[in-house]
Amino acid sequence: YDMSAELNLYSDKPTRKSARIVGDVLGKFHPHGDTSVYDAMVRLAQDWSMRYPLVDGQGNFGSMDGDSPAAMRYTEARMKKITDEVMADIDKETVDWTLNFDDTIPEPTVLPTKIPLLIVNGASGIAVGMATSIPPHNLSEVIDAVKAYIKNDSITTKQLMKYIKGPDFPTGGIVVNKDDLINIYETGQGKIKVRGKVETEELKGGKKQLVISEIPYTMIGAGIGKFLNDVAGLVETKKTTDITDISNQSSKEGIRIVLELKKGADVENLKNLLYKKTKLEDTFGVNMLAIVDGRPETLGIKKIIEHHINFQYEIATRKY
């Protein structure tokens, strides 16, 4: 809200120093530490944290390996194009307003987003006695499901899954337990097993190498370094003798972790060992808890879509 209405940092405007944005938010809406505000903004700009980043960051905003971003006096930011849709029509009395902490400026209680951000970008958070963990999903799949629901509101979760095949993590990965997804989307709770994507490349002289191009979402941050250490540990403790070299060749283009193998290595056996002994296969716990009309409620995917559509009706009604 501060970036749009107060500072006018829409996606077609020039970027502004992050310190200016953070200072503005602190002075007007959030009288707490500046790190909490800057960290939240940084996360919204990281394309490996958010499936659809909402902030367009310029400068060093950290890396997937867990490197910290530059201080806010060095970086700049503005809104992404998608965020213009999150803030659209906020000036047309579409949402309720409340006064800020010192009763001087009105602030919106909720944003009039046209995008179902709750399932598109997911959410994770803890409160007193409750926690939420919603995986991110693909925007076009979700919109197709929303359209299907509008055409037929007695559609089942299974039918909705024709459109939403499963979660869509920013780091990729493969869902192993696809059969559990229907139950997770029905009840809003469960566990998704995610594996990294491993491909075998042939080298000269009959040697092979394993290339990991996608990782489980839970592995970002310090996880990649830990994974490399875990693999080195397997070699040191002689759990496997097939790996001759490990290197992390990841770049801006994407993830690329390379394990060079000795001649005649048993590739399938090694893959299974990596899934078992390292974080290359990990569990993402799903608990789709959200605040509905002021009360916490565990929602299935159909319920979330239903609430999103009702919200769109409400916004359109209030707008016109």
Within 239-312, strands assigned E span 243-248, 257-261, 281-287, 289-292, 295-298
Q: Are 302 and 149 in contact (CB under 8 A)?
A: yes
Which active-site residues does the annotation give? 74
Q: Are 291 and 199 in contact (CB under 8 A)?
A: no
- The closest of 277, 282, 279, 280 to 235, measured between CA atoms, is 277
- The closest of 76, 94, 71 to 5, measured between CA atoms, is 94
- Map 33-55 to HEC letters: CHHHHHHHHHHHHCCCCCCCCCE
Integer-rounded Cα Rg, in Å, for the chain is 22
Instruction: Determine the Cα–Cα distance for residues 288 and 80; give it in Å rounded to an integer.
Output: 26
Identity (one letter) of the amino acid at 135? P
| CA distances in angstroms from 299 to 120, 148, 185, 257, listed in the order given | 15, 19, 9, 37
